[in-house]
Homo-oligomer: A and B are copies of this chain.
Amino acid sequence: MDYRSFFPKTIQNSLNNPAPGAWMPNVPCGAVRLSAGYPDPAFIPTHQFTDTIEKLIQEEHDLPFHYIGSRYTAELRQWIVDHLSSRNMVVRPTELLVAAGAFQAIDLVARILLDSSKAVVVEAPTYMEALEVFQNYTTDILSVPVDRDGLCVDTLEQMLAERRANHLQMPSLLYTIPSFQNPTGSTMPLSRRQKLLSLAEMYDFLVLEDDAYGDLFFDKAPITLKSLDQTGRVIYVGSLSKVLGPGLRIGWAVGPEPIIHAMNWFKKDLDHTFIEAAVGCFMGRIDWNARLQTMRQGYAQRRDIMLSALKEHMPDGVTWSVPDGGYFIWVHVPGVDTHALLDIAMEAGVSFIPGNYFYLDTEAPRDYLRLSFSYVSAEDMVRGIERLAGAIKTFQLS
């Protein structure tokens, strides 16, 4: 039976896009996974979390198993509000939605704000799964380059002015990862952030700020767009995926009440009471700031190890970003098709993400790759970089 006729036209179109997760390399056993944007296993509080669940059940019995009833789901919401407040974001309860990870929050924002009649601006390169999401809703996706200081707001301004002058469709949403960007690791300075917000006001668009890595700064906390937003232009998404564990699926969106209201309208997986209660209870039992401090130091050390290894092993001409936080280093390998390189690298026992996946297909440069310094051990990381350098040399000789 042919099911295509059952799919509405927009769904048929979306199904022609690259498949979700098509970017994920099928890493062979034993290879060093510099592709994995996972947290350091040492920072996952496995036993403390198990103890918390035990305490939770002792105290609340069956409540966390029901649709509603646990007091700790409310405590999780309060914890999020307090945590955001520590980064100068003032959030009322009606301005917060707890989601199953930042990814679901991004999808809900796209769900309520995008369809074929709307245009969205993304960074180039950007988080590949956000591209997947946006392509499910609209074909009108405009790219603005990222440099070592993040989104090029001057280029954005020029593009907006030209589109307005030429009566082209104006974007209603811009998606940015302003701090420790995925994949480049770059961070927008304050001046660019302020200019972005004034462009949002001038050209009447909303800003979706993805701050998945914002708490993992190595030096000083970046100032979020949300905390600078005076006019209700910013929808902010955050997550525990990078600081506690992505398998828990705890993220959030905060934004103007009508936006959060609409997102709640379309969030049809209900509340994840058990896991939200467990995390809410956990947060009340630990010193989160001390944990974060430890993680910041740990990831900074990991970054330094990777930077040293790159310096030691990479052939001339290869360059890379130096991030001030987060998980990622963005590597430029001039003249090397990193898509083809991946096959050689995996044979040599190391994986990465080819850079083209972080761009819309049509415009993708082929000689970038993303490395993650978050997950594998220090020894493996050095070994992985050695192997990668070897693979690049092999490619260049071939």
Contact = CB atoms under 8 A, between A and B. Distances in A.
A10, A66, A246 interface centre (most CB from chain B within 10 Å): A66
A112 B11 contact: yes
A184 interface: no
B6 A206 contact: yes
Nearest to A276: B247
Contacts of A46: 57, 61-62, 65
A110 B62 CA distance: 32
A23 to B, nearest CB: 13
28 contacts: A1-B256, A3-B259, A6-B113, A8-B114, A11-B112, A11-B266, A15-B262, A20-B265, A38-B66, A39-B65, A49-B65, A53-B53, A65-B245, A65-B246, A66-B247, A67-B246, A70-B247, A100-B272, A101-B269, A103-B270, A104-B269, A107-B268, A136-B265, A245-B274, A248-B274, A249-B269, A249-B275, A269-B269
A264 interface: yes
A113 B5 CA distance: 9
Given A3-B258, A19-B265, A66 B245 contact: yes
A100 B265 CA distance: 17
Contacts of A61: 41, 46
Contacts of A53: 50, 53
Contacts of A274: 245, 247-249, 275
Given A3-B258, A112-B7, A249 B266 contact: no
B62 A262 contact: no
Contacts of A143: none
A6 B49 CA distance: 41
A220 interface: no
B41 A266 contact: no
Given A247-B67, A259-B3, A264-B20, A272 B272 contact: yes
Contacts of A117: 8-9
Interface in A269-323: 269-275, 277
Interface in A93-147: 99-101, 103-104, 106-107, 111-115, 117-118, 133, 136
Interface string A56-96: 01000110111100100000000000000000000000000
A194 interface: no
A47 B65 CA distance: 12
Contact of A246 (B66, B103, B249): B66
A43 to B, nearest CB: 9
A275 B4 CA distance: 34
